[in-house]
Amino acid sequence: MTAECINTLQLNNNSHPKHNAHPEARTIKTIKTKLKKNEAMITHTDKGNSLVILTIKQYDSKTQDFIQANFQTATKDPTKYFQSQIRKVINDSKTLIPQETKLKYVNMNPSACTIKGLIKMHKPEHPTRPVVNWSSAPAYKAARLFTQKIRHLAPLPNIYSTDNTRDLINKLKDTPTLPHFALASLDITNLYTNIPVNETREILSNTMEQNLLDPQTRHELIKW
């Protein structure tokens, strides 16, 4: 049973509490009761459209293990400081953001991001893959604008990228192969947090220079 079905049945269950004779709704009610009694919960797995049941204590422990292994604990919430920095970058923009639209890219009343974990059933000890909701972060709207500007003003020649599985299959069909060739799939641990920032800025700067962007635009994009 998918999470969408569970959610739909829960809504139906709450809408008609006195006339709830649907067998699936009764099943949902029984599941909820057992979960509460055993202090358990339902969450998604990392791969596939599957669900897993585990205790809340296990879920919290797996999430804490990941956070402690990859992040440092802050002594105070830095959201207010980040918000002031983002506002300054937006207000200082002379070419990328028109004056009349600057307020549009300020995330009003920002807060620290929330995190949930997807269980890796295909890995030993079933660790968690964190999924972070950044929509409340100070830089969320500005970051979306930055991505759009980069794609338009400094597109990278991503000749080794694929859009999806179908795109990969089509490219492999057009790739000459011999019987002794082997296809290898490699993974990168924590890809985005391990991207070298200085080298990325240099690549971005060189690409913009090759595209003959004006110095002010280049300065603003690099500053972001």
pLDDT digit string, tens, across residues 36-72: 999 999 989 988 788 899 999 999 999 888 888 888 8
Per-residue pLDDT reduced to its tens digit, 3-26: 555 555 455 555 555 555 678 888
The first and second tokens of residue 44, run together, are 């998604």
How many structural domains does the chain have? 1
Query: The pTM is what?
Result: 0.66
Is 179 a domain residue? no
**In terms of residue numbers, what domain contains 212?**
38-169+186-223
Ordered DSSP codes for 40-61: EEEEEBSSSS-EEEEEHHHHHH
CA distances to 88, 170, 172, 176, 185 from 181, rounded to whole Å, are: 54, 18, 12, 10, 13
Q: In this predicted structure, which of 16-20, 187-191, 204-208 has the lowest mean pLDDT?
A: 16-20
Angle at 170 between CA 166 and CA 171, to 5 degrees: 115
Of residues 79 and 70, more confidence is placed in 79
- Identity of the amino acid at 17: P
> What confidence score (pLDDT) does residue 7 get?
57
For residues 121 and 124, what is the distance between their CA atoms, to the nearest angstrom?
8
Is 11 a domain residue? no
For residues 125 and 129, what is the distance between their CA atoms, to the nearest angstrom?
13
pLDDT level of residue 167 (50, 70, 90 thresholds): confident
Is 49 a domain residue? yes
Is 19 a domain residue? no
Is 199 a domain residue? yes
Per-residue pLDDT reduced to its tens digit, 171-185: 888 888 888 988 888
Per-residue pLDDT reduced to its tens digit, 94-116: 888 888 899 999 999 999 888 88
> What confidence score (pLDDT) does residue 19 get?
54
